[in-house]
């Protein structure tokens, strides 16, 4: 009888679920959004590693013709480093199409990069499924490689342990940073066990701080000669090692964004560097993946915060690396990004921020010739959609729009060193991280910028094929290869160091006996390729530009021209 009741209850639940399920006829699609996605994801929250794994597996299962899921390696603690291949898998080999690589969460507290990366994958496949022709054409031509988190161990640490908005940045490899014999000792302690490391304050009639009379949550510095009511004791913590000091030993840490094999410097010069370039397993896995995918022409790494679209160089020593031709490409893309993302600024790392040696951004460009940005997600502009500098603004925003959910109210705590104190302050999920209602909005704008970047990877076409009979059974075949997009097949950095092989333009339909590149068609100036005339090696097809090639061919009357480019994909054309 009990089993029957259970079955009946399950049946009722299924009927109820079906009754309230969204049906296409009940939905009016909002412009620019998938109306009835196969995979439903709430984009107003954050997901730990298990949550990310669940989402990417569901995307791959629901969209087998658009999504391939694989692990590109293991984290230090053995977690799979998931990477999604997003493309129309029915239309060409995804690894032969011009590609965009996206990752997030290289720093463990910069977590929204993972949601932004996953949103990009989700949006593309669900809009494709909804019949959006722009996305369908995009995925027919392009491939996206999307790695939601490349620091999953430390991500879970940030989620499930007490942390501030600023800690930790590192991965989870044990390090004795201060050489006291303890590995990765926690400098902070979550005194009240709420998962957030907030601020400690103690009453003091001669303190330098007082409670803001307009907002009791906020502490303000008193004026000259004025006595305060409190002293601030720093962030939550105790004397872990019995030396009489609290929080003086921060968690031993390295910085995963100082580990890349371009202009790498040791820890004595670049704080946070580990043993040697690519000594961190997660970074090594990313580098191996990129090396195996020479079709990657564009890159995006999501960080936080400050509302910035960053390009290299990371240090002044690399100013000459970023030459004028490539900077023009960066400028065209970056300035468009400023239009698409209100409050975001397109800037140069070393000039507008600080020096970074061994950064991912510079390795992608300097080492692989890939046009790469690093978007610093979240900007104060998003508080009230205007530029703000007032220190009260975060408190006002929390009160006005978040119903004071971002602040842990002050409470009394008996500290083993300081006696009776109070602890309180903003949660770790505020200031650097998007509130829920802004998460999807900013994810969409950043996604759109990455799609714009990917759209402008090379798109080649062959036309203007001219066939001229020159006598003696010979034909002169001339063809023009166009690149319709901003990004060339080879960046100047690529050409400087011969990073990638040249483009190959080949002919079939006859026997080529001579081949040349036409440098001036009007004046009939050419440069002959004296070997292998069937396959002309073209070093570069510029953005929004073209290259003209010519053969002298014996036999045949109809000729097919094929182009193969590692970063530009393939194209073909046939003479009339």
Return d(Cα 3, Cα 481) in angstroms, integer. Answer: 71
Under DSSP, the state recorded for 316 is G
For residue 307, the SS3 value is coil
Tokens 């342990």 correspond to 161
List beta partners, residue 232: 201
Under DSSP, the state recorded for 365 is I
Where does residue 176 fall: left (phi above 0), alpha (psi -120 to 50 degrees), or beta otherwise? beta
Q: What share of the chain is helix, strand, coil (3-state, %, to 5)?
A: 30, 25, 45
**Burial level of 414, CB count in 10 A (0-12/13-18/19+)?**
exposed
Structure tokens at 551: 């053969």
Return d(Cα 223, Cα 181) in angstroms, integer. Answer: 44
360 has catalytic annotation? no
Instruction: For the beta carbon of residue 318, count every other beta carbon within 10 angstroms.
Output: 21
**Burial level of 207, CB count in 10 A (0-12/13-18/19+)?**
middle
Return d(Cα 531, Cα 375) in angstroms, integer. Answer: 45
Return d(Cα 473, Cα 60) in angstroms, integer. Answer: 55
Judge whether 304 and 378 are in contact, CB under 8 Å: yes
Total residues belonging to the chain: 576
Catalytic residue, chosen from 115, 360, 376, 564, is 376
Return d(Cα 490, Cα 34) in angstroms, integer. Answer: 35
Side by side, which strands form the sheet with 535-538?
535-538, 503-508, 560-565, 569-574
- End-to-end CA, the chain: 79
Catalogue the long-range contacts made by 224-228 (C-beta closer than 8 Å, 24 or more residues apart): 228/204
Distances (CA, A) of 455 to 114, 297, 485: 22, 11, 8
Return d(Cα 360, Cα 374) in angstroms, integer. Answer: 9
Return d(Cα 561, Cα 572) in angstroms, integer. Answer: 5
Residue burial 369-398, b: 16+ Cβ < 10 Å; e: rest: bbbbbbbbbbbbbbbeeeebeeeeebbebb
Cα R_g (the chain), whole angstroms: 29
**What values do phi and psi take at 330, rounded to 5?**
-55, -45
Distances (CA, A) of 218 to 211, 391, 399, 424: 6, 10, 12, 10
Tokens 């799979």 correspond to 80
**What values do phi and psi take at 8, rounded to 5?**
-65, -40
Return d(Cα 507, Cα 555) in angstroms, integer. Answer: 12
- Provide the annotated active-site residues: 376
């Amino acid at each position: 009888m009990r089993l029957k009741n259970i079955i009946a209850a399950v049946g009722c639940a299924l009927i109820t679920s079906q009754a309230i399920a969204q049906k296409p006829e009940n939905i009016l699609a909002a412009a620019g959004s998938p109306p009835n996605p196969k995979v439903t994801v709430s984009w107003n929250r954050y997901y730990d590693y298990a949550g990310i794994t669940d989402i990417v597996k569901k995307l791959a299962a629901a969209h087998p013709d658009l999504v391939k899921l694989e692990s590109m390696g293991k984290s230090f603690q053995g977690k799979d480093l998931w990477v999604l291949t997003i493309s129309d898998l029915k239309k060409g080999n995804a690894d032969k199409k011009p590609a965009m690589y996206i990752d997030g969460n290289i720093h463990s507290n910069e977590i929204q990069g993972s949601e932004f990366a996953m949103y990009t994958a989700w949006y593309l496949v669900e809009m494709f499924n909804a019949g959006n022709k722009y996305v369908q054409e995009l995925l027919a031509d392009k491939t996206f490689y999307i790695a939601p988190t490349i620091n999953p161990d430390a991500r879970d640490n940030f989620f499930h342990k007490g942390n501030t908005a600023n800690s930790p940045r590192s991965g989870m490899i044990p390090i004795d940073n201060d050489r006291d014999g303890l590995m990765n000792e926690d400098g902070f302690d979550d005194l009240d066990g709420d998962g957030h490391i907030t601020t400690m304050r103690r009453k003091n009639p001669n303190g330098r701080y007082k409670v803001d009379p307009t907002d009791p949550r906020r502490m303000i510095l008193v004026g000259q000669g004025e006595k305060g009511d409190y002293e601030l004791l720093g962030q939550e913590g105790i004397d872990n090692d019995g030396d009489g000091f609290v929080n003086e030993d921060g968690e031993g840490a390295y910085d995963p964004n100082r580990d890349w094999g371009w202009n790498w410097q040791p820890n004595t010069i670049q704080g946070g560097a580990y043993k040697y370039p690519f000594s961190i397993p997660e970074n090594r896995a990313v580098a191996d993946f990129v090396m195996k995918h020479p079709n990657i022409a564009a890159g995006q790494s999501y960080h936080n915060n400050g509302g910035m679209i960053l390009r290299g160089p990371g240090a002044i020593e690399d100013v000459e690396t970023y030459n004028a031709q490539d900077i023009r490409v960066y400028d065209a893309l970056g300035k468009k990004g400023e239009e698409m993302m209100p409050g975001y600024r397109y800037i140069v790392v070393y000039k507008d921020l600080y020096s970074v040696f061994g950064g991912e951004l510079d390795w992608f460009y300097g080492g692989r010739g890939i046009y790469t940005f690093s978007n610093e997600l979240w900007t104060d502009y998003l508080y009230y959609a205007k530029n703000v500098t007032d220190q009260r603004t975060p408190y006002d925003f929390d009160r006005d729009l978040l119903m004071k959910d971002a602040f842990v109210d002050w409470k009394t705590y008996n500290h083993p060193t300081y006696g009776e104190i109070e602890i309180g302050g903003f949660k770790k999920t505020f200031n650097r991280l998007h509130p829920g209602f802004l998460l999807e909005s900013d994810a969409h704008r950043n996604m759109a910028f990455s799609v714009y970047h990917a759209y402008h990877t090379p798109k080649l076409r062959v036309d203007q094929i001219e066939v001229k009979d020159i006598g003696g059974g010979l034909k002169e075949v001339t063809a023009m290869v166009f690149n319709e997009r901003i990004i060339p097949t080879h960046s100047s950095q690529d050409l400087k160091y011969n990073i990638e092989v040249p483009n190959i333009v080949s002919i079939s339909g006859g026997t080529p006996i001579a081949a040349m590149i036409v440098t001036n068609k009007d004046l009939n100036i050419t440069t002959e390729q004296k070997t292998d005339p069937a396959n002309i090696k073209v070093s570069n097809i510029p953005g929004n530009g073209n290259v003209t090639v010519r053969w002298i061919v014996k036999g045949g009357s109809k000729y097919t021209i094929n182009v193969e480019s590692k970063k530009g994909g393939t194209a073909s054309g046939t003479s009339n």
